[in-house]
Structure 1
Amino acid sequence: MWTSDLSDLLWMVSISTCVKVLLVPSYHSTDFEVHRHWMAITNSLPVKEWYNDETSEWTLDYPPFFAWFERLLAVFASRVDPRMVDLVEGLNYATDTVILFQRSTVIAADCVLYWGLWRFCRKFTAEKQRLLYAAVVFSPGLFMVDHIHFQYNGFLLGILLLSLSCLREGRNVTGGFWFAVLVCYKHLFAVAGPVYFVYLLRHYCRGTSWFWNFMRLGSTVITVVGLAFGPFVYYGQMGQVLKRLFPFGRGLCHAYWAPNFWALYNTVDKVLSIVLRKLGKDIPGPKAAMTGGLVGDSSGHAVLPNVTPAITAMLVLLAMLPCLVRIWRRPRRSEVVQWVVYAYTCGYVFGWHVHEKAALHFVVPLSLLIADSVDAAGDFLFTSTVSYYSLFPLLFKSREYPIKVSLLLLYVFVMGIYLPHYFGNLSPDNLSNTCVESEEPDESTSDKSRSGTRWTMISSLQEVELLGTCRKLYLCGLLPLEIYSQLLHPYLFKDRLPFLPLMLVSVYCSVGLFYAWAKQLSACFNQPKPDIHFQM
């Protein structure tokens, strides 16, 4: 079975890789120079100076494991073109050779994503595997962010999938190990730390051997963190490392507001300031303080109370609290993915200086749940569409416009057809006209035998309804929003109010993703399913 399953994944990966190769000449953001410069830093300087270097404005601000990853890439880069990893001569160096090399490293690093995806799906039925493979491998968000804009999210998300797959199989220490590794690559993934901590404490550190389990788990995590940060502790650089990892001076929002709660908060503040000024009130502060489109240009609000990093951290934890209570009471491994998805959604909606690219942290894991129920599939289709559309402003050049639109429309079209077909085929009785969740089998039953009986689905003669009327109407609203942003605004305002289209996209998508957050909160409290038994 495994050979056949792997072949399904491999042909999808082959198609995806061909698309990525075609995207090599496309636009790349400043992140391209960021990662090239990080290779130069790690290649040219001793370890103790990595987090002190200020040769460029693109200072190293990822955890040590990612710095070592850049050091590994620099070994090969120095053989391809030595100037690429020269700390001074290499600044803003972007020849065709450099572009091809760096694009190739992202494509190669995606092998970790495919490994994690295969490991997560390896016990599922072939039909379910193909569905999940397609949802992740052909993600337009990964194409846009990693292979056009330029980042390494696929590689990092692959480590997350490895961790989740281990937790679902009951391999708690291994799951904790991979999560610790992930956080030491990119600290923003630590948002799910409370979920991991409570779950592992309640699910693994229990019974008569709870103390030894706790020590085993703790020593594993401490070892990983020690390997990552130990050299910098030795050189007395931990203060500098932490300063780089948590640059709170960048402001509440990024240049393009991520579509979260703070985009709505900023908009309300802006509207109130305009209204009060019209009424003759003296409102302090610059008129465009929150709409200038500059990083760090969000130092204060005109009317509403100012927000600090501590407030955002508290809101993230408060939003996560109901989920943590649920985990404490019923730590079921079959629900781990749902909880992690919710944790990253909380971090996105309420976090400090959130980048719109962070939507990948919850959308990609959410795709692993789409075969569980029609509701989960509908939530994914809605959330992924809004999240991936919100990434459009990242690719602002005209030649990439048909690419990003085609990627999203094709993905939504295919998933919108494939998902109803998948659930329709699960029906054991073609005359059934109801959708009822059946009783979960005994834990000794394999996932293969459960797949056709977990759900009694709508008759194949009827269309499975994934999105209700309200969600369909909301998604239809993306079309006039895009028409205004691309055509009407330039015609009406010329070069004035350049940030307004970004603001409208952010605010409109914020409403949809805030709704998605509420749905994820609700999903965490649905009737729990018994833990899934996996053959080891």
Structure 2
Amino acid sequence: MHSLGMRRWVVPSALLASACVRWATGLGSYSGAWRHGTPPMYGDYEAQRHWMELTIHLPTQLWYKYDLQYWGLDYPPLTAYVSWLCGILGSHINPSWFALDESRGIESPNSKIYMRATVFALDYMVYIPALYLFSRTWHATRSKRTQNLAFLVLLLQPALILIDNGHFQYNSVMLGFAILAINCFISGYDLLGAVFFVLSLGFKQMALYYAPAVGSYLIGKCLHLGPKEGTKLFVRLGVVTVASFVALFLPFLPPFSPLSAIMDPITRIFPFNRGIFEDKVANFWCASNVLMKWKFKASAATLVRISTLLTALGFAPAVVAAIASWIRLGQSQPQFSTVVTDEDKDKDAKAKMDTAVAVPVTLQPVLLHALLTSAMSFFLFSFQVHEKTILVPLMPLTLLMSTAPQDSTGFKIGALANNVGVFSMWPLLNRDGLAVPYIALTLLWNRLVGHNPFRIRQSTLFDLFTAAVYLGCITLHVLEILFSPPNRYPDLYPVLNVLLSTPIFVLTWLWSIKSLLESYWVIGPLGFGESSAHHPSTTDSRAPSEIETPVTEKGSSVVGSIGRERGLRARSLGYSTAMAKGGSKRLSKAGSVDEVPE
């Protein structure tokens, strides 16, 4: 569309295509749907509908107490508030959809349309605007073509669509607030980013997977700014974070409720009384349970302690790298502040600008890799992980993938982990009757990003490994279709799925740690932190040795963050680097002209 002069229609067309894909997925089955004339199995669809029912009929103090054996509310208060709002709106259309107790298991056609519409609406209110802002913030110095392509890749990620619009959940709200927080941190609006991150935590507790990375990243920035400015930022972040949590939990605090009422949501949010895992999930505990049989070898309390230790060790590199990168940046750039133009040299203008210090381009990959390392560590080693939780580490991985060339390791890891992430949820999706959307969305997204793992021309060893993994996934599907599992091993295929998927997630976690170390070393006097227009941009997720030096013009001016002022530009999704601003054009790898950002 860019080549046809229809640039303005790219984003509206992408939004329309995304809407069609999401709504078409919603026309299929879902968690707990009626099948073969049997009563509902009361899955996540009924849980979400039931929460709307109880929040509009019961006082706040009973939300986390009422009939807990029947899908008791077990998400943080923001989920309850959104359920209340959706229930109020739905009751105005048809009160019978949310009649207390009497509406349990209701699956009328109109009620299902309304429930699907709530997911659709929240997607376009929170998640999709966050993706659009990310494509404009992270790719600020790149062409509109690159920004739009990255937006489309993120928009149609199959795993989230299958779970939210198919299986039925609202994970996009949690992930959307987390991406908004990332956008704010990149742009230097740390207090606003802290508010968005609290909203993400307040919607689903799985956002805690990002907390070590976010906390250490902000602490590192406080240390970087020095004793005076750093202390100010630390205090402000603490006040804003505490105030945001208090606002979310206010109905459960004095004077609205006794202080003991705060334990009602907390005990429901953190269910340590459950086992180490329930369903088969592609993490360390379920994979190793094939041999170890953890539930028989250790008590639940012991497993909680062990999982906590392993999780902490797993995300420790993210914490260390996020803090150390800021400190290393300070050694090479002790005077870290925004650039003041000739028109803004007066003190008042400078003070206003200093309130929103953009993050240097060399530090931006550290944030996303730290988020990925932390989230994947929680997924692999923490207590009570569900198969759907793979969506949490897939989010920063896909954001990183949107910046990477197709021939880079980052792109290949991102595509592999996304596809295996969808594959790891196959037992759940198959149980929900979502086989057709599973196949269609996976093929559509791979076609869109240009990923063909079976293209063997000039293949590397990793390409051959990837092809073998996909061949294993296909073989397992064929075996499941042709042969029923033996009576002695009814979970044979889900276990084989776990054993095939878990090593890929471990590989992704290790790659993220490696990339964190590389991102750290390219900062500072011995890396790419010095002022030079000829240093490669580290927003590219390749290793430093893989990154090509961008072409710039002497004295060129590039608007953006501190690193981008030096002319730093990274190739993204196969497009070559841009030349400096001023009407110049550049040739892409294919030889076509790609425009410089306006």
1:97 CA drift (Å): 1.1
Task: Sort the Cα spacing of 1:470 and 1:380 in 2 relative to 1 into closer, same or farther, 3 A.
Answer: same
Contact 1:381 1:416 in 2 (8 A): no
- The answer to whether the Cα contact below 8 Å between 2:191 and 2:237 also exists between their aligned partners in 1 is yes
Give yes or no for the alignment of 1:240 onto 2:267.
Answer: no
After superposition, residues 268-307 of structure 1 pair within 5 angstroms as 268-269=291-292, 300-301=295-296
| Pairing 1:378-457 to 2, within 5 Å after superposition | 378-397=412-431, 400-417=434-451
Q: Does 1:218 find its partner at 2:238?
A: yes
Residue 496 and residue 219 in structure 1: after superposition, are their counterparts in 2 closer, same or farther (change >3 A)?
same
Query: Contact conserved, 2:369 with 2:513, CA < 8 A, in 1?
Result: no
Aligned-residue offset at 1:262: 1.0
Tell me: CA distance 1:46–1:261, structure 2 relative to 1, closer, same or farther (3 Å).
same
2:134 is the alignment partner of 1:120? yes
Q: Which of the residues 312, 333, 340 maps onto 1:317? A: 312
Matched, 1:33 2:58: no
Secondary structure of 2:411's partner?
helix
Is 2:508 aligned against 1:508? no
Q: Call closer, same or farther: CA 1:325–1:91 in 2, change over 3 Å.
A: same
Matched, 1:361 2:356: no
1:98 maps onto 2:100 in alignment:
no
The answer to whether the 8 Å contact 2:135/2:148 transfers is no
Q: 2:25 aligns with which of 18, 23, 30?
A: 23
For residues 477 and 525 of structure 1, the distance between their equivalents in structure 2, rounded to whole angstroms, comes to 31
Paired residue type of 1:128: T
Q: Runs of 5+ in structure 1 lacking a partner?
A: 271-297, 420-461
1:375 aligns with 2:395: no
Instruction: Provide the residue aligned with 1:535 in structure 2.
Output: 560
Q: Is this contact kept in 2: 1:172–1:204, CA < 8 A? A: no
For residue 195 of structure 1, the aligned residue among 210, 213, 216 is 213
Q: Distance in 1 between matches of 2:391 and 2:59?
A: 33
Alignment partners' CA distance in 1, 2:190 and 2:209: 19
CA contact (8 A) 1:48 1:232 kept: yes
Q: Does 1:340 align with 2:371?
A: yes
CA–CA distance in structure 2, aligned partners of residues 349 and 534 of structure 1: 40
Shift of 1:474: 2.0
SS in structure 1 at match of 2:52? helix
Alpha-carbon offset, residue 351 of structure 1 = 1.2
1:262 alignment partner in structure 2: 285
Change over 3 Å in CA distance of 1:55–1:344 after alignment to 2: closer
Which residues of structure 2 form unaligned runs of 5+? Answer: 1-5, 32-42, 327-362, 524-528, 530-537, 540-557, 562-598
By how many angstroms is 1:319 displaced?
Answer: 1.0
CA contact (8 A) 2:415 2:451 kept: no
State the Cα deviation string for residues 76-135 of structure 1 (Å, max 9, x = none).
111121122222111111111111001001011111111111111112422322332222
Structure 2 Cα separation of the partners of residues 302 and 210 of structure 1: 48
1:11 alignment counterpart: 13
Question: Where does structure 1 differ by over 6 angstroms across 4 or more consecutive aligned residues?
Answer: 303-306, 462-466, 531-534
Which of 56, 62, 84 is equivalent to 1:43?
A: 56
Shift of 1:153: 1.3
Q: TM-score, normalised by structure 1?
A: 0.80
- Whole-angstrom distance in 2 between the partners of 1:406 and 1:387: 15
Q: Distance in 1 between matches of 2:322 and 2:385?
A: 26
Give the equivalent residue in structure 2 for 1:54: 67
Larger mean CA deviation between 46-55 and 340-349 belongs to 46-55
Amino acid corresponding to residue 330 of structure 1 in structure 2: S
Q: Deviations over 1:37-84 (max 9, x none)?
A: 100111001111111111652001111111111111111111121122
Q: Is the 8 A contact 1:37 1:91 kept in 2?
A: yes
Separation in structure 2 between the aligned mates of residue 399 and residue 228 of structure 1, nearest angstrom: 36
Q: How has the CA–CA distance of structure 1 residues 215 and 515 changed in structure 2, closer, same or farther, with 3 Å as cutoff?
A: same
- In the TM superposition, what is the alpha-carbon distance from 1:9 to its structure 2 partner? 3.0
- Report deviation, 1:465: 6.2
Aligned to 2:190: 172
Residue 145 of structure 1, CA deviation: 0.4
- Measured in 1, the distance between the counterparts of 2:468 and 2:178 equals 34
How far does residue 214 in structure 1 lie from its aligned partner after superposition?
1.4
Deviation at 1:398, TM superposition (A): 8.7
Counterparts in 2 of 1:398 and 1:93: CA distance versus 1, 3 Å: closer
Which residue in 1 is equivalent to 2:383? 352
Distance 1:20 1:243, change over 3 A: same
Shift of 1:399: 5.5
Query: Is contact 2:318-2:369 (8 Å) kept?
Result: no
1:132-153 deviation digits (Å, cap 9, x = unpaired): 2222211111221011100011
Q: Residue 172 of structure 1: CA displacement?
A: 1.6
How far does the alpha carbon of each residue in 1:473-505 deviate from its partner, in whole angstroms, 9 at most, with x for none?
A: 122211111112222235xx3x66322111111
Q: Residues 261 and 55 from structure 1, CA distance in 2 versus in 1: closer, same or farther, beyond 3 angstroms?
A: closer
Q: In 2, are the aligned partners of 1:167 and 1:333 still within 8 Å (CA)?
A: no
CA contact (8 A) 2:419 2:442 kept: yes
Matches within 5 A, 1:145-184: 145-184=163-202
Say if 1:55 and 1:87, in contact at 8 Å, map to a contact too: no
Aligned counterpart in structure 1 of residue 518 of structure 2, from 498, 520, 526:
526
Which residue does the alignment assign to 1:451?
A: none
**83 and 304 in structure 1: CA distance in 2 versus 1, 3 angstrom threshold:** closer
Q: Secondary structure at the match of 1:204?
A: helix
Compare 48-57 and 373-382 and name the one that shifted more.
48-57
Tell me how far apart the structure 2 counterparts of residues 109 and 534 of structure 1 sit (CA, whole Å): 33
Distance in 2 (CA, whole Å) between partners of 1:401 and 1:190 is 31
Q: Distance in 2 between matches of 1:89 and 1:306?
A: 39
Q: Deviations over 1:147-199 (max 9, x none)?
A: 11000112221111111111112222222221111101111111221211111
| Count of aligned residue pairs for this structure pair | 462
Alignment deviations for residues 269-305 of structure 1 (CA, whole Å, 9 cap, x no partner): 25xxxxxxxxxxxxxxxxxxxxxxxxxxx7x135999
Are 1:264 and 1:507, in contact at CA under 8 Å, matched by a contact in 2? Answer: yes
Aligned CA distance change for structure 1 residues 304 and 518 (closer, same or farther; 3 Å): farther
Give how far 1:344 is off: 0.7
The one-letter code sitting in structure 2 at the alignment partner of 1:247 is: P
